[in-house]
Structure formats: C-alpha cells, structure tokens
C-alpha cells in the first residue's frame, strides 16, 4: 500500500470515528462543542454528512456567519482606502468630518471631527443613516473610547438663518476641527465642498460610505445632536423634539401650526417662514399664479409691465416675492433651468437613483424630475440660480400644491400600484467652475 493510500485510509477511519462520536451526542451538545471551532476544522465536513437536519443546519449557520464576517472585513478594508493611502505617506493624524441636522427645521447643525489611529478596529462603523439608534449609541461609545481625538462643533438656528445652512454647516465643521485636542495633519470631509479650515482638506462625495473616519464622525455628530434635541424636548415639550429631532415630520408641522415657532426654529426655512409670514393679498396671489402659469418667455415678458403698474397696490415684501418668482420662472423657461436640471439629474444618477421622467407636465403643475430611490418614487423640484440666493426657499405653498397635483396625476396614470413616494428639493448654483448642489430628501409633505 502506498503512502497516499495509507493517508486516505487513515482520514476515512478518522471521519468514521468522529461521525460515530457525534451520533451519540444531542444537537445541543454538538452546538456547544463546535462553538470554538475554526472555519477550517475538519469536523465541519463530518457534520455536513450527519443525517439530522438540525446538525446540518449548524454547518449552514457557520458558513453564513463566515460569509458575513468576510464581507464585513472587506467592507472595512474599503472604508480605509483614503486613510491607508495617507498613513502610507507618513500622515498620522487624519481627521474625518461630517455633520448632522442640515435638513431640520429646528435645532443646531452639529459637526464632528474624529481622528482614528492606524490599525484601529471598530466593527460595523457605517454611514449613520444606515444604522439603528441602538447601533449608533453603542458605536458612539466605542468611537469615543478608541479614537485618538474627537471634536464637536455646533451652529445655532439664529446663526443658520443669518449665514444660510450651507455656510453654517461648513462653520460647524471648522469648529469641530478647532475643538480637537491636537490639530490634524489632514482632513477628510463628507461632501463636495471643503470647510476652508487651516488644515489640508479633501472633500469626498458620499464620504460617510467611503471613509471610516468620516463614517465615525457621522455617527458622533448624529448621536450628539439627537441627545441635544432630547434635552430641548424637556424645555419645549409641545413640539415633540425627542421624537422627530427637529425634522419636518407631520407631528412637527402640526405643532408649528398650533404653537408657532420657538427660538430653536430656523425662520429662514420654508415651512417655518410660511407660518410666520403676513397673509398675501389677492392681487399678489393673482400675479404669482400668472407668473407660474407662463409657458414661455414671451408670455412672462408681457406680464412684467402689468406688475409694474400695480406697484403702489403691493407691499414691499410682496413686490420682492414677485420679483423672485419672475426670476425663477425666467430661469426655468430659459437655458439656466435646463442646465440646473441636467446637473441635478447627473447628481442623482451618481448616487444610484434611476431617472424615470424629466419635466412631467400635468394637472397645472410641472415636476422637474421623477426618479426611483430603491423602493421609493421621488418627485424632485430643482431650483437653479447663478446668484448667491437661496433657490430652495422659492418652493412656497402654491408651488407645493401644484407639485402635489402633478404627482398625483403621475401616480394615477403612470404607475401600476400605489408606490411609497416623497418630494425632494435640489438647489443648484451654476458657477464658472461647475455646479454646486444641495439636496433635501423628503423636503415637504403633499399639500391639498
């Protein structure tokens, strides 16, 4: 008998002996015995051939666990792509930065900066939006314990109104970096814009899903802000901040209608501003409707002199609002609007959205983009500007009503089933260097 034949015979007899031993054990006893086995242990091969379904299920469970662990290990490796590149260059203190609360109607915008040491392992760190509250809370404590440094920055509602939310978010990021115990050597920032801090920066689109440091910062910022809003709930219980954290939920909007805004509310944000604005005159509403009903630039230009003739009958605020509506409609009907919509569509497609329709016109309203985001149908209003204005603030109640009517028409005639849907707003600033974009998912609820 050759050496190979001897080895095979020894292996087979060993498997038979192991199988006989397992046959005399209960499934619970086998589960206890294999708890510490490595994935390559030859005993798994024996168990795979056991006649009992429960025993074979142990093998399936272990293989699934191994696959999950391998996938998580690969995901962590991908998340460290930017950090490893910098560490290899001798850059030791890499700070990831992200913010939370940008789309809220109330409360501060909060940013966090997190510096992790090379070799630091924190399992299951991911974009905070993909994690449950319990997972975020547990990871927050682990990050705080293992990180080399953590800094927090916040900008309150009054300053957000004064600066605008983009500039306030960037300021919160700079404050977070200032509040690190020691300055970073390099900064990785979530988004497409640098924070303009004193340190070398790299902006990474979808950074919270591509960088471990940024993902950690997103968790810290989210948990820190959620805890702040729970504290605010004690001072202002009528608004329910502990539940919605300041976002524009139906309950929050109902509380705003009942009680008006408190000092935590961002008065420049559309839903809040609409509730504190003076009632508009019938003349204003007539002109506004006429501006938005124009289907070409010639119609819009004929309406302009009529508005000028009625200047004495309009308040200064109404006149300013009509001028803004006129510019918006002029841009939409002209090339600027189309360029903005193209930039918004490219932005969404890069993030995995599927564009179904562009410029859907029905029921007296027009939807700039109809898209799919996973299982959700998304109606997107794109506001484009070449100025330093806030184009997203031009989505007033009348505009939301027209969008709602058009969306219902689309659902009725263009979908087979009633889908889960939402309304997003995208603001586009056309610059010489390209388009700057801000995106507000679920920006408002349908309006009757």
Give pLDDT tens digits for 112-166: 999 999 878 787 777 677 788 899 999 999 999 999 999 999 999 999 999 989 9
| Pairwise CA distance, residues 305 & 370, whole Å | 35
Mean local confidence (pLDDT), 230-252: 95
Query: In the chain, count of helices (H) and strands (E)?
Result: 17, 10
**CATH fold label, 81-232:** Nucleotidyltransferase; domain 5 (3.30.420)
Strands 201-204 vs 354-362: parallel, antiparallel or unpaired = unpaired
Pick the CATH number of 335-448 from 3.40.1350.10, 3.90.1150.10, 3.20.20.70, 2.60.260.20: 3.40.1350.10
Helix (H) or strand (E) holding 353: none
Q: What is the pLDDT of residue 115?
A: 96
Read off the pLDDT of each residue in 240-246 and give the average, rounded to a whole number.
96
- What pLDDT does 208 receive? 85
Res 8 pLDDT > 50: no
* Domain edges within the chain: 3-75, 81-232, 278-333, 335-448
Q: Minimal CA–CA distance to 108: which of 203, 198, 250, 241?
A: 241
Position 111 confidence tier, pLDDT thresholds 50, 70, 90: very high
Identify the burial level of 134 via C-beta atoms within 10 angstroms of its C-beta, where 0-12 means exposed, 13-18 middle and 19 or more buried: exposed
Q: Which residue has the tokens 């309950």?
A: 251
Task: Give the span between the Cα atoms of 368 and 391, in whole angstroms.
Answer: 14
Q: Which range (34-38, 246-250, 386-390) has the least confidence?
A: 386-390
126 conformational bin, left if phi > 0, alpha if psi -120 to 50, beta if neither: beta
């Amino acid at each position: 008998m050759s050496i190979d034949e001897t080895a095979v015979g020894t292996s087979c007899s060993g498997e038979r002996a192991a199988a006989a031993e397992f046959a005399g054990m209960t499934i619970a006893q086998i589960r206890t015995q294999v708890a510490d086995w490595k994935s390559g242990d030859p005993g798994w091969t024996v168990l795979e051939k056991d006649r009992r379904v429960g025993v074979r299920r142990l093998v399936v469970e272990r293989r699934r666990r191994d696959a999950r662990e391998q996938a998580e290990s690969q995901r962590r490796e991908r998340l460290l792509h930017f950090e490893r590149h910098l560490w290899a260059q001798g850059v030791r203190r890499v700070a990831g930065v992200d913010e939370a609360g940008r789309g809220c109607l109330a409360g501060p915008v909060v940013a966090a900066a997190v510096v992790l040491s090379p070799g630091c392992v924190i399992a299951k760190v991911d974009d905070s939006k993909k994690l449950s509250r319990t997972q975020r809370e547990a990871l927050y404590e682990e990050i705080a314990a293992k990180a080399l440094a953590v800094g927090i920055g916040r900008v309150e509602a009054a300053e957000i109104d004064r600066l605008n939310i983009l500039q306030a978010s960037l300021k919160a990021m700079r404050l977070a970096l200032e509040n690190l115990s020691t300055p970073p050597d390099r900064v990785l920032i979530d988004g497409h814009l640098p924070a303009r801090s004193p340190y070398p920066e790299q902006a990474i689109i979808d950074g919270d899903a591509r960088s471990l440091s940024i993902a950690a910062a997103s968790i810290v910022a989210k948990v820190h802000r959620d805890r702040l809003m729970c504290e605010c709930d004690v001072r202002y219980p009528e608004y329910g901040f502990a539940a919605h954290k300041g976002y524009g939920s139906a309950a929050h909007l109902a509380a705003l209608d009942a009680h008006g805004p408190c000092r935590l509310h961002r008065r420049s944000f559309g839903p809040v501003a609409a509730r504190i604005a003076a009632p508009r005159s019938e003349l204003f509403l007539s002109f506004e409707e006429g501006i938005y009903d124009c289907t070409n630039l010639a119609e819009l230009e004929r309406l302009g002199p009529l508005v000028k003739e009625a200047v004495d009958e309009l308040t200064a605020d109404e006149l300013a609002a009509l001028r803004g509506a006129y510019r918006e409609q002029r841009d939409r009907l002209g090339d600027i609007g189309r360029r903005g919509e193209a930039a918004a569509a490219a932005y969404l497609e890069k993030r995995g959205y599927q564009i179904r329709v562009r410029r859907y016109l029905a029921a007296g309203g027009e939807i700039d983009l109809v898209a799919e985001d996973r299982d959700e149908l998304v109606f997107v209003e794109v506001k484009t500007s070449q100025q330093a204005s806030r184009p997203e603030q031009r989505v007033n109640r009348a505009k939301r009503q027209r969008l709602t009517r058009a969306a219902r028409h689309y659902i009725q005639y263009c979908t087979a089933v009633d889908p889960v849907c939402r309304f997003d707003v995208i603001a586009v600033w056309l610059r010489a260097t390209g388009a700057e974009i801000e995106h507000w998912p679920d920006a408002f609820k349908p309006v009757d």
